[in-house]
Amino acid sequence: MNEARNRLDQANASVGPALFIFGLVTCGRRGRKAHRAGGATLGLMVMLCIVRTPAAAQSERKGGGTQSSVVHLSESPEADARTDKEGAPITLTFQDALERARKYSPQFQAAASVSKLAHEDRLQARAAMLPSANYTMQYLGTQGNGILPSGRYVTNDGIHVYRAWGVFRQSLSADTFTLASYRRAEAAEALAIAQEDIAQRGLTVTVTRAYYGLVVAERKYATAQQSRDQAKHSLQISQEMEEQGQVAHSDVITFQIQFNQQEQAYSEAKLAMDNARLSLAVLLFPGFDQNFNVVDDLDATQPLPPFAEVQKMAGENNPQIRAAMALLRETRSDLTSARTAFLPSLSFDVDYGIEANAFALQSHTSASPEAGRLPNLGYFVTVTLNLPVWDWGTLRSKLRQAEYRKRQTQTELTFAQRQLLGDLHAYYNEAWTSRSEVSTLRSSADLAAESLRLNALRYKAGQATVLDVLNAQTTLTQARDAYADGLARSRIAIANLQTLTGSF
């Protein structure tokens, strides 16, 4: 039945245009206005009534009637790709998360754009010191006066003047010889590159917090689930022991209260995990997509170099110091430019081409036609000397501004150096302390698990109270959560330290 319907739809799709053409041909043969309008209308109605694509017919059969067109907006192109693959979530490592964050972070992309713009500014500053060449072509039409061949404008020697010049220009000043503008552009580019590095390292810290925040939230969620299951198991054991007359009903009530609390803690842990996933999704995806998994590599330890090596790396690779030094170089160049502005400047313009009454290499001039055909191709040179004389103190004011900026940048540089030393000691101590505590936290979690196992056995044997079991369960939950927090703290401390030293 379906195959027959498909064949019918295909036949309709081919017959409809044929009937439409037939209607037009018919009306053309009749050749009358009324018949032409009626034939065209008939053909169009026949095509609209009969023509149906197989897809439309199939849609009507499924929906039971005419379906409205609905445009479904997906959250991201990647979500569409996963939908085609049965919605399989992607798995992200920490490096994958970093690459995605650099691609979609507006702050980092803004810093990268500033760096690219600064690079182009340096190229333009270098080109500004070199000779330039351009070509101009003009036609000057002058109104005649009926008597003189030069027309009404004395600056032109005829009513038709053609200009075709190749212009070569070079400006020479003290700024050209000192390279102050170019060096300022170089310093600005170095400053933009350092700020891009700062933005990248700061983004690494942000991604580290979000990524391992989700990993920790997933671990706490698993711990809360285990604690809830353990509380439920303890409740069932106490109910069985109550039926056998081994414990009082108060133990059952206590375990029931604990189970309710663990159920609430489980809901809160799930909420925290969902919020952590949302925070990471905002950083990593161009659209709002939560269909992903992260790799739990918290247990993989990262090496921590000795402090002497870290201090050396900070002195060589610290972007804050590079930015402060680049800013100081930039203000020094500004000061040099402000000083050289008091000196004269010289510019050369060499024009080579024609300026004649005819667009030709040789022609008669309108002012002296009796001279015959004269050569038009030639050159003229313009030399301009500019000497500043009086500007109401503007140049001196700009000089004082440049001196003020230089003093401020020198102060900022010394402060950045002191701040680097202070942050270096603080971040290194944090990383060292957090790493040394990880082994202790792991041991505490293992001991807490063993304590819970022993207290559960003792409770079944009637040698432990309900409070012993509850305390052991609470201690195990806290120990596991503290161990996860300690691992994440160590990762974040390393990331903060690397903002000063770079990767190690």
Question: pLDDT value at position 79?
Answer: 44
> 188-322+409-501, what's its fold?
Outer membrane efflux proteins (OEP) (1.20.1600)
Cα(255)–Cα(126) distance, rounded to whole angstroms?
Answer: 79
Q: Between 329 and 48, where is the model more confident?
A: 329
- The single residue listed with the structure tokens 């079944």 is 460
Question: pLDDT value at position 462?
Answer: 85
Instruction: Note the Cα 143 to chain centre separation in Å.
Output: 60
Question: pLDDT value at position 154?
Answer: 65
pLDDT in tens, 415-436: 999 999 999 999 999 999 999 9
Q: Between 391 and 39, where is the model more confident?
A: 391
Q: 211 pLDDT exceeds 70?
A: yes
> What pLDDT band is residue 264 in, cutting at 50, 70 and 90?
very high
Share above pLDDT 70 across residues of the chain, in percent, rounded to a whole number: 82
pTM of the model: 0.73
Which of 66-75, 149-158, 314-323 has the lowest average pLDDT?
A: 66-75
Which of 16-20, 46-50, 390-394 has the lowest average pLDDT?
A: 46-50
For the chain, the average pLDDT equals: 83
Cα(347)–Cα(370) distance, rounded to whole angstroms?
Answer: 38
Q: 500 pLDDT exceeds 70?
A: yes
User: Phi, psi at residue 351, to the nearest 5°?
Assistant: -110, 125
Q: Between 493 and 67, where is the model more confident?
A: 493
Which of 64-68, 229-233, 426-430, 490-494 has the lowest average pLDDT?
A: 64-68
Strand extents, DSSP E, 124-188: 132-141, 160-172
Question: pLDDT value at position 31?
Answer: 39
Question: pLDDT value at position 438?
Answer: 93
The answer to whether the beta carbons of residues 184 and 334 sit under 8 Å apart is yes
Question: pLDDT value at position 67?
Answer: 34
Question: pLDDT value at position 359?
Answer: 87
- Residue range 132-176+345-386 in CATH 2.20.200: yes
3-state secondary structure of 484: helix
Q: 267 pLDDT exceeds 80?
A: yes
> Residues near 252 by Cβ (< 8 Å), separated by ≥ 6?
235, 238, 239, 242
3-state secondary structure of 378: strand
3-state secondary structure 249-313: HHHHHHHHHHHHHHHHHHHHHHHHHHHHHHHHHHHHCCCCCCCEEECCCCCCCCCCCCHHHHHHH
Q: 99 pLDDT exceeds 90?
A: yes
Q: 41 pLDDT exceeds 70?
A: no
Instruction: Kindly state the average pLDDT of the residues 105-120.
Output: 94
pLDDT in tens, 135-175: 998 888 888 877 777 776 767 778 888 889 899 999 998 88
